[in-house]
């Protein structure tokens, strides 16, 4: 499947351009061929986009949150009485460990 506009138009001129899947109907309109080419180009750009890197402060916050969650999921923490667990969770929330 060609990815460039000239490649799609070349395929359309040869009568090999299909709409949708390769077993779909052959495209007869030049406008539709251009639309397919632009759509493929847009999909390529979206796939090439990379997410922005996180700010170092946000990375550190994420690590703190992950550590807090890991502590809450530990067997030692779960073995504590419910009241003790609730106090620990409330204390973390007050100190913004989350």
- 36 and 65 co-located in one domain: no
* pLDDT higher than 60, residue 98: no
User: What is the pLDDT at residue 96?
Assistant: 65
Confidence of residue 13 (pLDDT cuts 50, 70, 90): very high
* pLDDT higher than 80, residue 95: no
Q: What is the mean pLDDT of residues 20-30?
A: 87
Each residue's pLDDT tens digit, 33-73: 999 889 888 888 877 777 777 677 767 777 777 777 787 78
Domain that holds residue 20: 5-48
- 13 and 43 co-located in one domain: yes
Q: Give the pair of three-digit tokens for residue 16.
A: 């090999």
User: What is the pLDDT at residue 30?
Assistant: 92
How far apart CA 25 and CA 9 sit, in angstroms, is 16
Count how many domains the chain has.
2
- 42 and 10 co-located in one domain: yes
| Radius of gyration of the chain from its Cα atoms, rounded to whole angstroms | 28
Residue 26 β-bridge partners: 18
Whole-model pTM?
0.47
């Amino acid at each position: 499947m060609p990815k460039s506009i000239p490649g799609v138009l070349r395929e359309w001129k040869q009568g090999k351009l299909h709409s949708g899947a390769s077993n779909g109907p052959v495209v007869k309109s030049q406008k539709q061929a251009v639309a397919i080419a632009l759509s493929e180009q847009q999909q390529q750009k979206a796939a090439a986009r990379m997410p922005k890197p996180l700010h170092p402060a946000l990375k550190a916050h994420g690590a703190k949150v992950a550590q807090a969650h890991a502590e809450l999921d530990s067997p030692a923490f779960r073995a504590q009485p419910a009241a003790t667990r609730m106090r620990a969770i409330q204390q973390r929330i007050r100190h913004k460990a989350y």
